[in-house]
Amino acid sequence: MRSAAVLVLLTTSLVVPAAVQAGAAAPPNDWGWNLPRISQRDFDPSQPYVYEATGYGVDVYVLSTGIRTTHNEFRGRAKWGATFGPYQSKDGNGAGTLAAAVVGGTTYGVAKQVSLIAVKVMSGPGNARTADVLDGIDFVVRKAAITRRPSAMLLDVSMRKNAEIDQAIYSAFANYDIHVIVPAGNDGGNACIRTPSGVSGAITVAGLARGPAGAEKPASGSNTGPCIDFLAPGEAIMSASSTNDTSTKIGSGTSLAAAHAAGAVALRISAKGNLKPRAMADALKDASTKNRMATTGLPGTPNSILYTLSH
């Protein structure tokens, strides 16, 4: 890593009473199922999303195609951080806005008062260059040193193995205490052979499809395998669109699964205080709901689903 950063652990925690948010009508698109799923052990779509904290005081950097920061979902909590590459400083693709609203949107988000920072490292079509991703990771490390706030990074890319990016990710969490959350990828194969999903110590999340309790399974196309930490909803997810400040969109993919986990990191910090990145990953894995899926994909994939409550 080309510059140092220091994170100060939270000395006080903002703890709010458990709140509930009703799930949206499910048929025919099943949107609205994802938030209730992560606050339940056994999925009951009639039950609401319950949360014990809001992510207040935590920064989540979204390395993707950008964020429509003016969208009503963000209520002023999203800002533009930086653009790396020959791109306009806006989200012309929509992937970044979609993921950011799952992390921390007021309606569609896991952590409803988290701060979101756009770091654009991808083109409109969604392609990423190694130099731009490295610059984006370095930007997060440097900004965290300046703000001295607990910080997480959602890295919304999946590519062939790239040793430079893998090393930068490892350095971000091992040396600078940045929580790094990454998608498993959408190739229907082994997450371990991809970047960044093969980096040990990053929180790697596969996609979960909606299904009845006891018969759930990975989302179609999600990578799986022993590098996965747990699964989170990654299919038919309603979120914010970058088209205008009120538009919405239904999306799928492991970047949205990882977005749920980034929100969960923010919840955990605001409720209980910060942890070292490896301890945070272990805490989320320990808390995850076990043995509810009928199938898990490739051998070694944990039968574990993200769970965000403390009980």
- Show the 3-state SS of the chain: CCCCCCCCCCCCCCCCCCEEECCCCCCCCCCCCHHHHHCCCCCCCCCCEEECCCCCCCEEEEEECCCCCCCCCCCCCEEEEEECCCCCCCCCCCHHHHHHHHHHCCCCCCCCCCEEEEEECECCCCCECHHHHHHHHHHHHHHHHHHCCCEEEEECCCEECCHHHHHHHHHHHHCCCCEEEEECCCCCCEHHHEECCCCECEEEEEEEECCCCCCEEECCCCCECCCCCEEEECCCEEEECCCCCCCEEEECCHHHHHHHHHHHHHHHHHHHCCCCHHHHHHHHHHHCEECCECCCCCCCCCCEECCCCCC
Is the domain spanning 30-305 CATH 3.40.50.200? The answer is: yes
pLDDT score, position 294:
95
What is the DSSP pairing of strand 217-218 with strand 203-209?
A: antiparallel
pLDDT score, position 19:
55
pTM score, whole prediction: 0.92
Show me where the domains of the chain are located: 30-305
pLDDT score, position 212:
85
CA distance 237 to 34: 7
In the numeric block, the tokens 């006080």 are attached to 12
pLDDT score, position 16:
31
pLDDT score, position 31:
59
CA distance 248 to 149: 30
Amino acid (1-letter code) at residue 263: G
CB neighbours of 71 closer than 8 A, spacing ≥ 6? 78, 97, 101, 240, 242, 245, 246
In the numeric block, the tokens 């654009």 are attached to 120
pLDDT score, position 21:
63
Task: Taking the CA atoms of 245, 251, 255 and 260 in sequence, report the sign of the dihedral they define.
Answer: positive
pLDDT score, position 3:
30
Per-block mean pLDDT, blocks of 10 residues, the chain (311 long): 26 32 42 92 93 98 98 98 97 97 98 98 93 98 97 96 97 97 97 97 97 90 98 97 97 98 98 97 98 96 97 82
What is the DSSP pairing of strand 203-209 with strand 230-233?
A: parallel
pLDDT score, position 213:
79
